[in-house]
Amino acid sequence: MTFVLLLVALIYLSISIFLYTSVRNDLTNQVQTELLRLTETLASSAADPLLLKDGGKLGKLAELHNPLVQTVVITNSRNVVVASPDIRQLGQTLPSYLSRANAHQADHFAAPVLAGGNQLGAVYLQGNQKHINRLVNQRLDRTTSRLIVLGLITALLGLLGAYLVSLAMTRPVLRLLDEIESMEDRLGLDKKFTLVRTPQSGDELYRLEWAFRFTEQRLREHLLELRQLHQRQQAMQCMATIGEMSAQVAHEIRNALSSLRGAARYLVRYGQADNQGDFIRIIEEEVQRLYDMTQGFLDFGRPYAAIPVDTQIRHLLERCLSRHRADLETKTIMATLDCPESLHAMLDPSLIEQALSNLILNAIDALPMQDGELHLAAEKSGLAQLDIMVSDNGPGIPPEKRKNIFKPYVTTKTKGSGLGLAVVTKIMMVHDGSVELCETHSGARFILHLPCKLPLSS
């Protein structure tokens, strides 16, 4: 409100100064124009008396009764004074400095006396500066009075306008302030914090700023509490996952040990049987399965710490395919790669290579011995995301297992630990990314979504 009043006062003061100066200049110009016109009229009237050398008539012209005129002097062609209110000037030559002053002083005017194109003389008129100033000041006083009245009206309108503007601006602020103050009650927050209220001193913007800062502090506290709750929830989920994994591991180990015990008892009882090689192979396969399961459990249980480095994505994908070249050739799988050379991102290459290897191995196991196709691709998505895709033309994932495919010990293979996709999920988590199983008409398609720490170019 104060700012609006100061602005109105500044505008009014500027307009008043401009109007006052303009009126004063206009009045002064009007007076000077009137005196110049009077001088020219006297010069026109003095032509005949000068020709007739009628001193009496010239004297009457010089004795002009006008409050704006201080003196009138009429000279002939030789610049000799022939008429003047001061008879002592008659017959004297008009000083040259007086004639030159006419061009430089605002209260001196001159006009030539002409007859038939010849200059018979001149009329010199000097204005009454005191009377002129008094007349101008009188009219300026009336103008000043009007400006004062206008100023009072402007002040009243300015106060009213400032009040309305202030009301229009502060009403939403006060409404927002009330909303912030009542937010804790509506959200059911702790009552111990409601004892701290917005200060009643200060203007509305100060109170609103204070309320926002207090709300920011409360949000920071609740975010900290939410983060702690999330950590506890993750710990509980981890314990639940460990419990489920322990039960699954115990079940798998029991099955494997049962097979080993049966094969060992048979060999002990029938050591010289012809089919003892089959039971030895059973023992070997079960031991290998226990080893693979134990290794997978260790891989899944160990903590991952990503060490991001600037990595060229195409070279990373080529290394993954090279690692499994023998498996691909064994099943005559045609592998293709689609990735620009200039695609870079900040990631841990060893962990991402492990995740891709798990996806590639799953695809190889699912593909048939002939006409199998494996496709790797990478592209940037937007400005801050990298997508790496692994797709095949195999049988795909059954619909009933899609929701649980990333959980530990969930697998579509007859032989497998069920930890491959769980490890992929864990690797993506430490990269602040995610893994997605896309809907396809045939085969399976997995996409690794990675945030880019460096700008991508392709």
Do residues 322 and 438 both lie within one domain? yes
Residue pair 50/113 in contact (Cβ under 8 Å)? The answer is: yes
Residue closest to 131 by CA, chosen among 71, 68, 66, 72:
68
Do residues 161 and 14 both lie within one domain? yes
Whether residue 23 lies inside any domain: the answer is yes
* Residue 104 confidence (pLDDT): 46
Do residues 124 and 58 both lie within one domain? yes
* Residue 101 confidence (pLDDT): 45
* Residue 198 clears pLDDT 60, i.e. is over it: no
Report residue 252 CA to chain centroid gap: 58
Q: Which of the given ranges, 55-69, 175-189, 198-212, 367-381, has the highest pLDDT on average?
A: 367-381
Residue at which a domain ends, from 173, 194, 215: 194
* Residue 59 clears pLDDT 80, i.e. is over it: yes
Do residues 173 and 81 both lie within one domain? yes
Residue 45 or 96, more confident = 45
Do residues 185 and 222 both lie within one domain? no
Residue at which a domain ends, from 271, 302, 333: 302
Q: Any idea how long the chain is? A: 458
* Residue 221 confidence (pLDDT): 84
Over residues 41-50, the mean pLDDT reads: 87
Confidence band (pLDDT; 50, 70, 90) for 103? very low
Over residues 67-75, the mean pLDDT reads: 87
* Residue 98 confidence (pLDDT): 57
| Dist. CA 105–CA 221, nearest whole Å | 82
* Residue 448 clears pLDDT 90, i.e. is over it: yes
In what order do the strands lie in the sheet containing 434-438?
Answer: 333-338, 372-380, 385-392, 445-451, 434-438
Query: What rounded mean pLDDT belongs to the chain?
Result: 80
The parent domain of residue 34 ranges over 1-194
Instruction: Report the DSSP pairing between strands 372-380 and 333-338.
Output: parallel
Of 123-132, 161-170, 178-187, 302-311, give the lowest mean pLDDT range. Answer: 178-187
Q: How many CB atoms lie within 10 A of CB 234?
A: 10
Over residues 19-43, the mean pLDDT reads: 86
* Residue/partner pairs of 201-208 with CB below 8 Å, 24 or more apart: 204/170, 204/173, 204/174, 204/177, 205/173, 207/177, 208/173, 208/176, 208/177, 208/180
What does the buried/exposed string (b/e) look like for 111-150 if buried means 16 or more CB atoms within 10 Å of the residue's CB? bebeeeeeebbbbbbbbbeeebeebbeeebeebeeebeee
C-alpha distances (whole Å) from 429 to each of 120, 123, 303, 305, 423 are: 113, 107, 11, 10, 10
- The total of structural domains in the chain comes to 3
Whether residue 458 lies inside any domain: the answer is no
Do residues 52 and 173 both lie within one domain? yes
Over residues 372-379, the mean pLDDT reads: 93
Q: Which residue has the tokens 């927050």?
A: 189
Q: Which of the given ranges, 64-68, 210-214, 269-273, 332-336, has the highest pLDDT on average?
A: 332-336
* Residue 415 clears pLDDT 60, i.e. is over it: no
Whether residue 421 lies inside any domain: the answer is yes
* Residue 458 confidence (pLDDT): 45
* Residue 447 confidence (pLDDT): 94
Question: Count of alpha carbons within 13 Å of 57, Cβ hemisphere only?
Answer: 12
Do residues 42 and 174 both lie within one domain? yes
Of 64-73, 106-115, 286-295, 412-421, give the lowest mean pLDDT range. Answer: 412-421
Residue 267 or 81, more confident = 81
Confidence band (pLDDT; 50, 70, 90) for 421? confident
Residue pair 396/438 in contact (Cβ under 8 Å)? The answer is: no
Do residues 310 and 276 both lie within one domain? no
Residue pair 337/376 in contact (Cβ under 8 Å)? The answer is: yes
CA geometry: angle at 324 spanning 322 and 329, to 5°?
Answer: 100
Whether residue 325 lies inside any domain: the answer is yes
Residue pair 129/107 in contact (Cβ under 8 Å)? The answer is: yes
Whether residue 456 lies inside any domain: the answer is no
Do residues 391 and 256 both lie within one domain? no
* Residue 241 confidence (pLDDT): 67
Whether residue 220 lies inside any domain: the answer is yes
Report if pTM > 0.85.
no
Whether residue 125 lies inside any domain: the answer is yes
* Residue 317 clears pLDDT 90, i.e. is over it: yes
* Residue 138 clears pLDDT 80, i.e. is over it: yes
Q: Which of the given ranges, 61-75, 211-225, 293-307, has the highest pLDDT on average?
A: 61-75
- Give, for 86, the enclosing helix (H) or strand (E): none
CATH number at residue 14: 3.30.450.20
Confidence band (pLDDT; 50, 70, 90) for 348? very high
Do residues 232 and 372 both lie within one domain? no
Do residues 108 and 1 both lie within one domain? yes
Do residues 253 and 236 both lie within one domain? yes
Whether residue 140 lies inside any domain: the answer is yes
CATH number at residue 263: 1.10.287.130
Confidence band (pLDDT; 50, 70, 90) for 379? very high
Residue 59 or 434, more confident = 434
| Dist. CA 180–CA 212, nearest whole Å | 8
Residue at which a domain ends, from 268, 302, 336: 302
